[in-house]
């Protein structure tokens, strides 16, 4: 029901994202989805990767500051109003969406960090919205 997301803190310097990408690709780890937020001094790269535990080890060994968080992966139909429907469900259940971003896998559409993940998962399931699990890490995940 939950998937593991890496949060990697980067100095806002030329080439730092490349170093993360290279560290993972050299070890055969695929970045399935990511989002980046920045300030003038640092960036925060959040990513869902094919081997989260191994990726965390690799990044820490290379000196990156990184941590793992459990988030929800949600599969939405690709039609107008689906995001609105999801947000209505969570709002009606008094759950705050701390952030969300798109996932590039057949198994899921969005990653959501909710204020109460268990309550969010229950509300979404009750409304008929599918949640993804570890199948998200496989490139050949069936829809």
13-61: pLDDT as tens digits: 889 999 999 999 999 999 988 999 888 788 999 999 999 999 999 999 9
Q: Where in the chain is the domain with CATH 3.30.70.260?
A: 72-137
CATH of 72-137, one of 3.40.50.10470, 3.60.21.10, 3.30.70.260, 3.40.50.2300: 3.30.70.260
Mean predicted confidence (pLDDT) in 101-114: 81
pLDDT higher at 106 or 67: 67
Which of 128, 135, 143 minimizes the C-alpha distance to 50? 135
Q: Do 67 and 5 contact (CB within 8 A), yes or no?
A: no
Contacts of 72 (CB under 8 A, 6+ apart): 1, 2, 3, 111, 112, 113, 114, 117, 120, 121, 124, 131
2-70: in CATH 3.30.2130.10: yes
State the Rg of the chain over Cα: 16
Taking the C-alpha atoms of residue 106 and residue 135, their distance in angstroms, rounded to an integer, is: 10
Query: pTM for this structure?
Result: 0.82
pLDDT value at 76 more than 90: no
Exposure class string for 65-74: b at 16+ Cβ within 10 A, else e: ebeeeebbbb
Taking the C-alpha atoms of residue 3 and residue 138, their distance in angstroms, rounded to an integer, is: 12
């Amino acid at each position: 029901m939950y998937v593991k997301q890496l949060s990697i803190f980067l100095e806002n310097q030329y080439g730092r994202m490349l170093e993360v990408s290279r560290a993972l690709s050299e070890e055969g780890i695929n970045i399935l989805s990511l989002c980046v937020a920045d300030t003038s001094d640092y960036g925060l790269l959040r990513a869902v990767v094919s081997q989260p535990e191994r990726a965390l080890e690799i990044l820490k060994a290379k000196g990156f500051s990184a941590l793992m968080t459990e988030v929800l992966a949600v599969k939405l139909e690709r039609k107008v109003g689906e995001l609105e429907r999801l947000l209505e469900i969570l709002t009606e259940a008094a759950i705050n969406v701390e952030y969300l971003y798109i996932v590039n896998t057949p198994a899921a559409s969005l990653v959501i960090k909710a204020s109460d993940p268990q309550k969010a998962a229950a509300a979404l399931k009750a409304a008929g919205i599918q949640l993804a699990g570890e199948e998200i890490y496989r490139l050949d995940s069936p829809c």
